[in-house]
């Protein structure tokens, strides 16, 4: 993580006050959360609509922070303390990250997409770690605050940083990629998330393609080659980057020629090499994510023949196709971190493909931020569930009722249950599970369906 004296910080960001008496003070790392202060941190107080971090500056310093920023329009900065007064604390945080990035020799991989970017990030880091010292975005630190904090958390000897770039509107990826300046970028796919803000999948594609604006000279672009909304713009791309694609079909640089799903993961082969890869993650869509990670890793000199070792060390972020066991011995696919029509369909397809279970249940909740067509998206998800391969459908939430409505076109009413209260859903669901059951749990983050998973895992 960043380790600099306050004198050095003054050359990295514009400081408005005199720091002569504190200029040899050293900061180690940066935080915006006063509850997570570690010894030597630089605390960055942010002004929000409902809270102002400046109220916690003195407490942060007492709890071990070495110094703190202070926004110049906030009155009464503490006297005789290591305070750096700046015009805007958020902008100063971002500028500090930009300056620190310039001082590092690290190479950056930037990853964006509507679905799969976190899993692709985890896979890419696992493969690159075979040969390099790698750091990656932790959790969901992928926005205008999280990415600068991630960069400031990089060690000076880190060789490759794998950075996730998220967004909710136009211009956000542009800002992140120009801050990170990646040598390689990945666009996993174009889904329906953020339709509420961007209006169309075309608008989402335009926003994701902003990642190209920060790409360094002679870099690598890896994108989903089956997606028409990416194919067109990339045909018109005139940069000096190397373009490579992944997808299901044989026009791509890499594509799967054989995929097998098992309880603990996936096995697959790719075109051009007679080698079976073993991925400890469920889902054909995750095989495609793995292909993207493989292309990036090969660009950095990792041979395909070594990649199974990297996959064996893969640690995927929680609640993403996570297979756990319930108290009755039922198997639960916890994919409750997020959801869109694309990712929900992929998860349901996985459940229908997996063998070895006498009973299959899908527990599906609201998909959020889908705009004016949200009801139709939910109805279509329900309509697409195969009643010959899924035994019961449970839904949760106001929009979940539209999933149930769609499912009732193919299922009898005794096999579809819609709930507005989570406790009622859990109580009913527990009557249908046993050791021969597979349960999928999926919804947008705001629905907190991991509570259903925890209930199935707990003693009755």
Answer whether residue 194 shows pLDDT above 60: no
pLDDT digits (tens, 9 = 90+) for 231-252: 989 988 888 899 999 999 999 9
- Helices then strands, each counted (H, E), the chain: 16, 21
Which residues, listed in sequence order, are joined to residue 47 by a DSSP beta bridge?
52
68/46 Cα distance (integer angstroms) = 11
What is the DSSP code string of 177-202?
A: HHHH--SEEEE----STTHHHH-SHH
pLDDT digits (tens, 9 = 90+) for 347-373: 999 999 888 899 999 999 999 988 888
pLDDT digits (tens, 9 = 90+) for 402-450: 999 999 999 999 999 999 999 999 999 999 999 999 999 999 989 999 9
195/187 Cα distance (integer angstroms) = 17
Which residues, listed in sequence order, are joined to residue 245 by a DSSP beta bridge?
223
Mean pLDDT of the region 104-117: 94
First to last CA, the chain: 45
- DSSP class of residue 143 equals S
Let me know if the fold of 104-312 is the same as that of 322-457: no
pLDDT at 323: 85
Strands 392-396 and 359-365: parallel
Tokens linked to 129: 């770690």
What is the DSSP code string of 220-267?
A: EEEEETT-HHHHHHHHT--SSPEEEEESSSTTSSB-EEEEEEETTEEE
Beta strand spans in 314-372 (E)? 322-325, 331-335, 359-365
Mean pLDDT of the region 115-129: 94
pLDDT digits (tens, 9 = 90+) for 421-431: 999 999 999 99
The architecture of the domain spanning 104-312 is: 3-Layer(aba) Sandwich (3.40)
pLDDT digits (tens, 9 = 90+) for 262-295: 877 899 999 999 999 999 988 888 999 999 999 9
> At the topology level of CATH, where does 322-457 sit?
3.90.190
Q: How confident is the model at residue 200 (pLDDT cuts 50, 70, 90)?
A: confident
Instruction: From residue 136, give the alpha-carbon distance in Å to each of 62, 119, 153.
Output: 31, 11, 10
Answer whether residue 312 shows pLDDT above 90: yes
- In the chain, what are the domain boundaries? 3-96, 104-312, 322-457
pLDDT digits (tens, 9 = 90+) for 85-102: 999 999 999 999 999 999
Tell the CATH superfamily of the 3-96 domain. MurE/MurF, N-terminal domain (3.40.1390.10)
């Amino acid at each position: 993580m960043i380790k600099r004296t306050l004198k050095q910080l003054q050359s990295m960001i514009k400081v408005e006050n005199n720091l002569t008496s504190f200029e040899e003070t050293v900061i180690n790392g940066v935080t915006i959360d006063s509850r997570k202060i570690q010894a030597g941190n630089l605390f960055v107080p942010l002004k929000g609509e409902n809270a102002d971090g400046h109220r916690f500056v003195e407490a942060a310093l007492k709890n071990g922070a070495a110094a703190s920023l202070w926004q110049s329009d906030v009155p009464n900065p503490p006297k005789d303390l290591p305070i750096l007064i700046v015009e805007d604390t958020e902008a100063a945080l971002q500028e500090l990250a930009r300056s620190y990035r310039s001082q590092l020799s690290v190479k950056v991989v930037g990853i964006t997409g509507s679905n799969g970017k976190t899993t692709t990030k985890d896979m890419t880091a696992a493969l690159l770690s075979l040969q390099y010292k790698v750091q990656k975005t932790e959790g969901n630190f992928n926005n205008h605050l999280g990415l600068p904090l991630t960069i400031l958390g990089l060690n000076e000897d880190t060789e490759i940083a794998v950075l996730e770039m998220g967004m909710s509107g136009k211009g956000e990826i542009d800002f992140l990629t120009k801050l990170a300046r990646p040598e390689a970028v990945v666009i996993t796919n174009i889904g329906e998330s953020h339709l509420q803000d961007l209006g169309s999948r075309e608008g989402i594609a335009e926003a994701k393609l902003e990642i190209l604006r920060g790409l360094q000279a002679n870099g690598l672009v890896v994108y989903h080659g089956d997606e028409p909304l990416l194919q067109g713009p990339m045909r018109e791309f005139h940069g000096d980057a190397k373009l490579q694609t992944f997808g299901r079909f044989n026009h791509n640089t890499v594509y799967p020629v054989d995929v097998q799903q098992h309880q603990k993961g996936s096995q697959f082969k790719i075109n051009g090499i007679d080698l079976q890869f073993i991925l400890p993650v469920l889902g054909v869509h995750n095989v495609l994510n793995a292909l993207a990670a493989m292309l990036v890793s090969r660009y950095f000199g990792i041979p395909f023949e070594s990649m199974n070792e990297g996959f064996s060390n893969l640690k995927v972020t929680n609640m993403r196709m996570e297979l756990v066991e319930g108290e009755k011995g039922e198997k639960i696919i916890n994919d409750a971190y997020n959801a869109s029509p694309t990712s929900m369909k992929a998860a349901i397809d996985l459940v229908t493909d997996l063998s070895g279970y006498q009973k299959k249940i899908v527990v599906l909740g609201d998909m959020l931020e889908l705009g004016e067509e949200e009801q139709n998206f939910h109805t279509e998800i329900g309509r697409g569930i195969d009643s010959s391969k899924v035994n019961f459908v449970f839904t949760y939430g106001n929009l979940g009722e539209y999933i149930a409505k769609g499912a009732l076109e193919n299922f009898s009413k005794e096999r579809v249950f819609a709930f507005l209260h989570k406790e009622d859903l859990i109580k009913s669901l527990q009557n249908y599970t046993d050791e021969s059951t597979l349960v999928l749990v999926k919804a947008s983050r705001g629905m907190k369906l991991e509570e259903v998973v925890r209930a199935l895992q707990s003693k009755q």
